[in-house]
Structure 1
Amino acid sequence: MALGAALFFAVEHMVLKKGPVHQANENGTEVAETLAKLEKAQELIKKSYVGEVDEAKLMDGAIQGMVASLGDPYSVYMDRETSKQFEQSLDSSFSGIGAEVSKEGEDFIIVDRFKGSPAEQSGLKPNDKIKSIDGESIQSLTLYEVTAKIRGPKGSKVVIGVERGDASKNLDITVTRDEIPVETVHSKRFKLEDSQIGYLEITTFAKGTAEDLKTELTKLESEGIDGLILDVRGNPGGLLSSVHEVLDQFVTNKKPFMYIEERNGDREPLSSVLEEKKEYPVATLIDGGSASAAEILAAGMQEVEGYPLIGEKTFGKGTVQQSYDLGDGSQMKLTMSKWLTPNKKWIHKEGILPTLEVSQPAVFDLVPLQSAVVLKKGMNDEKISVLQNILNGLGYEVDRTDGYFSGSTEKALLAFQKAAGLKENGEANTATLAELDKAIQTYKENPKHDHQLQSAIEFLGENE
């Protein structure tokens, strides 16, 4: 997992500012005393510590400690190597599992996953708390040490232990690392009776997102559309400059699409350059994985133009970060301000409510089941509860979901094995679990099962 998976999705200014390690303070004496204290501690460690001391690591640790003391998961220090990884993550692809990880308090949290990434396919979910990596506790590690452990060459595997909700046991999820392409815009058209509805999915707001979206939108409009869906579900954010350029294509300049509020309370409005809105209606799909820049887009679409938001409440990240080059290849990303919606609301930790709330089928919350042992009738295990929920979600009715492998569970599994062309033995072996995983993915990829998408298509069909 590249560092971008941990940090890129904070709303950030694109310019990497250069700045000194130490900034001026009105009280020069106080600065001198602070630096003298730091130097004294450094010299004491170098001369007296029982082991060998790496001076570069000592300085990195000092800066990391200062930033960590802020208690802000989005303010971070990146050493030279980590900074390089971060910059690479802004390119067209990177190697990893495709997940965004943040530190909140003492917990390492999965904020979101790239669409179609190994993280998503393996069943990692937003709000999962990472407790171990390859069987080792990560309690004493920094965010960067955690991301370094998760990273690895394409094709290699990593076992991530997560705590999920109120589950009594942690889940061990095996993920196969892969090259993660950053293709941020995907387009389709849906036919609804006599209407053509355009669809643009924005997975992240990266450097080339606005230009790619413009290309795909021009293609859709040339083919003819009567309405448009913007899908930012699961979009964890990205560059402020990128979402600004995207909003320039949909939101007019009649009012700012956001405000940046500084520490002193000053507010800077940001507005689109667009003079006239689209001739066709537009709806935006959102969910709990829509965060940061995705929420800026959602708020602008709703509060400036009155375009509906369809789906579920967004994540709730209302801060802006800026990166500073510290001169030696390292950099510091610091939360510099808040951002407010066009109606001057701060949505941090609150999220944005949809205009039309629509939940997805239960199958969309199911995760692939991994088991080292064959699950069979008479067994009692938490993994069997997952199996039962999967079978029910796919339409193979089971009488219980408490983890006891009942006769009804066996019957449902036999029916699935028959439909999948597997050996019908009523046992959840490796082959059966793999086919169940494929069935879940196939179900999710069918647009007819996507209740939020279907609601948006119907809404636009009625309001064209």
Structure 2
Amino acid sequence: MKPFKNKQKKKITMPLYKLFIILFVTVLLTSVVTFASYKFGLYFGNDKQKSLNKIEEAYKQIDDDYYKDVDDEKLTQGAIDGMIKSLDDPYSEYISSKDTTTYNEEISGDFVGIGAEMEVHKGYVRITSPMKDSPAEKAGIKPLDVVTKVDNQSIKNKSLNEIVSKVRGKEGTTVNLTIKREGKEPFDVQIKRDKIHLTSVDYTKKNDTGIISISKFQNKTTKELKSALKQAKKDNVKHVVLDLRNNPGGLLDEVVTSVNLFVDKGKPVIYLETKGDKPQAVETENDKMAGIDDMDYSVLVNKGSASAAEIFAGALQDYKIADVLGTTTFGKGIGQVHKEFNDSSILKYTNMRWLTPNKSYIHKKGIKPDKTISAPKYEGIEIIDPTKSYELGDKSKEIKSIKIGLDALGYNTSNENETFDAQLENNVKAFQSEHKLEPNGVFTDETTKKFIELLRKKIRAEDKQLDEAIDYIHK
């Protein structure tokens, strides 16, 4: 056998430009393959892509093979709704394109309509109050008017949302309402729709105290609040109560500028904490309102004060601008952002939690008042269903509410337990007799409706929590 001999290596050469071309093509092909792998789920180890592929496969399977035709839009919305539901977050939601107009109107406080508050009443809707200087008021609509038809179409047993959508419409167009007014035959009223702005700030004066109620933080709230504060200064009030009870919150930008009226430039109103990031300060951008320190302030809150209302109360409390009075707030210390799609639908989801200027978390804790002032018990009783009956011997938490409510209306009860006893039966009979109802001692139907009506009137006419807050201020 011949011994193995090493062969001499051959030297391979090529022009430099060809080498560059080969390198460029190699990089390009690698990029294309990588993109295609990611795009079509071939990028192994990518769990998110596998999940997306599964969703797409399920969608296609249902769309192709379900025994009936399916609505693609409903299918898509159902998939998104399912994802939102899995978050177990009551503040995240998907708003379809057909509902975005109403949603945006609620945020801005602006809508096109006739300017009248309505409530369901015996299968129709009743006007609770036409807004000042609104098309409804100018057309002669009055409180307690019952609307039976809209554009000659009966609205009997329609939902309030359905009726409101019929009454609203394009600016400058006309809607015809058929009105039933006590003591008169039904008549038609034509009303020209116009742009309506729901004010979020209301000012009243009680002796030497100004009361500024802020119902929500929407577009123009800061402007309205500034006007109210100016009026309080003109009235030479010494103390202002900023009433945020049942204020559900609103726009972050608006509450920051509202706080800025009281807090100087460059001060943090809140700190925002997003995933993986340290808290970032949201600071005031302008000088505070001139003359703002000439008055003293208190903030009145309750369990219904949430989100932006808590930001406002927390900032004024931390900066010692105002004492917080009332009861512990709701405790919504997280914030949402909106993602708008090409079809105008909106995905609203939670992407942050926030801290007060002193870096306190309030989520699920609320803001504790400096002085606890509780509302009367009858303001927080259980809702009584008029279709249900309560009579001697029954037991339920609603019966306890009936006792508390009747006591507030002057029918004295010796106990507040959950038993429908003989004393309650006598009180119910007395209540029925006084209001010309059948005195059978059974709490149901018209008795319940009258009870609710009178309690609502009492709550509107008397504000014992506010009165107690004013008394505390002047001690």
Whether the 8 Å CA contact 1:255–1:304 is kept in 2: the answer is: no
Distance in 2 between the 1:437 and 1:67 partners? Answer: 37
Please name the residue that 1:244 is paired with: 256
User: How far off is 1:72 after superposition?
Assistant: 2.2
Distance in 2 between the 1:206 and 1:371 partners? Answer: 35
> Pick from 211, 214, 234: which aligns with 2:223?
211
Please name the residue that 1:456 is paired with: 469
Give, as a single letter, the amino acid of the residue that structure 2 aligns with 1:241.
D
Distance in 1 between the 2:389 and 2:469 partners? Answer: 42
User: How far off is 1:57 after superposition?
Assistant: 2.1
Distance in 2 between the 1:37 and 1:408 partners? Answer: 65
Give, as a single letter, the amino acid of the residue that structure 2 aligns with 1:92.
D
User: How far off is 1:389 after superposition?
Assistant: 2.6
Please name the residue that 1:92 is paired with: 110
Residue segments in structure 1 that go unaligned for 5+ positions in a row = 1-23, 99-115, 118-147, 157-179
Please name the residue that 1:265 is paired with: 277
Please name the residue that 1:8 is paired with: none
Distance in 2 between the 1:334 and 1:230 partners? Answer: 30
> Pick from 321, 341, 363: which aligns with 2:336?
321
Distance in 1 between the 2:280 and 2:81 partners? Answer: 30
Which runs of structure 2 are paired with 1:191-340 in the superposition (5 Å)?
Answer: 191=207, 196-253=208-265, 255-272=267-284, 273-275=286-288, 277-340=292-355
Please name the residue that 1:76 is paired with: 93
Please name the residue that 2:200 is paired with: 184
Please name the residue that 1:129 is paired with: none
Distance in 2 between the 1:292 and 1:315 partners? Answer: 8
Give, as a single letter, the amino acid of the residue that structure 2 aligns with 1:274.
D
Distance in 2 between the 1:306 and 1:387 partners? Answer: 41
Please name the residue that 1:4 is paired with: none
Please name the residue that 1:59 is paired with: 76
Whether the 8 Å CA contact 1:259–1:341 is kept in 2: the answer is: yes
Higher Rg:
2
Structure 2 counterpart SS, 1:257: strand
Distance in 2 between the 1:215 and 1:56 partners? Answer: 46
Please name the residue that 2:7 is paired with: none
Please name the residue that 2:163 is paired with: 153
Distance in 2 between the 1:459 and 1:280 partners? Answer: 16
Give, as a single letter, the amino acid of the residue that structure 2 aligns with 1:301.
L
With over 3 angstroms needed to count, the CA separation of the structure-2 counterparts of 1:274 and 1:367, relative to structure 1, is farther
User: Which one scores higher on RCO, CA 8 angstroms, separation ≥ 6?
Assistant: 1
Structure 2 counterpart SS, 1:46: helix
Please name the residue that 2:138 is paired with: none
Please name the residue that 2:136 is paired with: none
User: How far off is 1:425 after superposition?
Assistant: 3.6
Distance in 1 between the 2:389 and 2:60 partners? Answer: 59
User: How far off is 1:73 after superposition?
Assistant: 2.1
Residues 274-320 of structure 1 show CA distances to partners (whole Å, capped at 9, x for unaligned) of 34752211000011111000000010010013411001111111111
Distance in 2 between the 1:374 and 1:35 partners? Answer: 52
Give, as a single letter, the amino acid of the residue that structure 1 aligns with 2:251.
L
User: How far off is 1:216 after superposition?
Assistant: 2.2
User: How far off is 1:323 after superposition?
Assistant: 0.8
Give, as a single letter, the amino acid of the residue that structure 1 aligns with 2:200.
T
Give, as a single letter, the amino acid of the residue that structure 2 aligns with 1:259.
Y
User: How far off is 1:154 after superposition?
Assistant: 4.8
User: TM-score under structure 1 normalisation?
Assistant: 0.68
> Pick from 63, 67, 71: which aligns with 1:46?
63
Q: 48-57 or 398-407, which moves further after superposition?
A: 398-407
Distance in 1 between the 2:450 and 2:58 partners? Answer: 59
Distance in 2 between the 1:234 and 1:373 partners? Answer: 28
Residues 185-221 of structure 1 show CA distances to partners (whole Å, capped at 9, x for unaligned) of 1111111xxxx11111111111122222222222222
Compute the RMSD of aligned alpha carbons: 3.5
Which runs of structure 2 are paired with 1:109-148 in the superposition (5 Å)?
Answer: none
With over 3 angstroms needed to count, the CA separation of the structure-2 counterparts of 1:370 and 1:342, relative to structure 1, is same
Distance in 1 between the 2:446 and 2:79 partners? Answer: 51
Identity level (%): 28
With over 3 angstroms needed to count, the CA separation of the structure-2 counterparts of 1:459 and 1:279, relative to structure 1, is farther
Give, as a single letter, the amino acid of the residue that structure 1 aligns with 2:464.
D
User: How far off is 1:257 after superposition?
Assistant: 1.7
Whether the 8 Å CA contact 2:373–2:469 is kept in 1: the answer is: no
With over 3 angstroms needed to count, the CA separation of the structure-2 counterparts of 1:355 and 1:402, relative to structure 1, is closer
Give, as a single letter, the amino acid of the residue that structure 2 aligns with 1:267.
P
Whether the 8 Å CA contact 1:360–1:450 is kept in 2: the answer is: yes
Please name the residue that 1:365 is paired with: 380
Distance in 1 between the 2:71 and 2:444 partners? Answer: 50
Whether the 8 Å CA contact 2:335–2:354 is kept in 1: the answer is: yes
Whether the 8 Å CA contact 1:281–1:460 is kept in 2: the answer is: no
With over 3 angstroms needed to count, the CA separation of the structure-2 counterparts of 1:373 and 1:338, relative to structure 1, is closer
Structure 1 counterpart SS, 2:268: coil
Residues 109-150 of structure 1 show CA distances to partners (whole Å, capped at 9, x for unaligned) of xxxxxxx99xxxxxxxxxxxxxxxxxxxxxxxxxxxxxx988
User: How far off is 1:367 after superposition?
Assistant: 5.1
Distance in 1 between the 2:341 and 2:222 partners? Answer: 29
Whether the 8 Å CA contact 2:325–2:370 is kept in 1: the answer is: yes
Whether the 8 Å CA contact 1:290–1:315 is kept in 2: the answer is: yes
Distance in 2 between the 1:426 and 1:181 partners? Answer: 47
Distance in 2 between the 1:89 and 1:433 partners? Answer: 32
Whether the 8 Å CA contact 2:303–2:329 is kept in 1: the answer is: yes
Distance in 2 between the 1:37 and 1:431 partners? Answer: 55
Distance in 2 between the 1:83 and 1:155 partners? Answer: 13
> Pick from 443, 446, 454: which aligns with 2:458?
443
Distance in 1 between the 2:118 and 2:361 partners? Answer: 32
Give, as a single letter, the amino acid of the residue that structure 2 aligns with 1:357.
T
User: How far off is 1:81 after superposition?
Assistant: 1.4
Distance in 2 between the 1:441 and 1:214 partners? Answer: 31
User: How far off is 1:88 after superposition?
Assistant: 3.0
Pair 1:351-2:366 in alignment? yes
Structure 2 counterpart SS, 1:297: helix
Give the length in aligned residue pairs: 359
Give, as a single letter, the amino acid of the residue that structure 2 aligns with 1:450.
K
Give, as a single letter, the amino acid of the residue that structure 1 aligns with 2:287.
L
Whether the 8 Å CA contact 1:202–1:235 is kept in 2: the answer is: yes
Give, as a single letter, the amino acid of the residue that structure 1 aligns with 2:201.
V
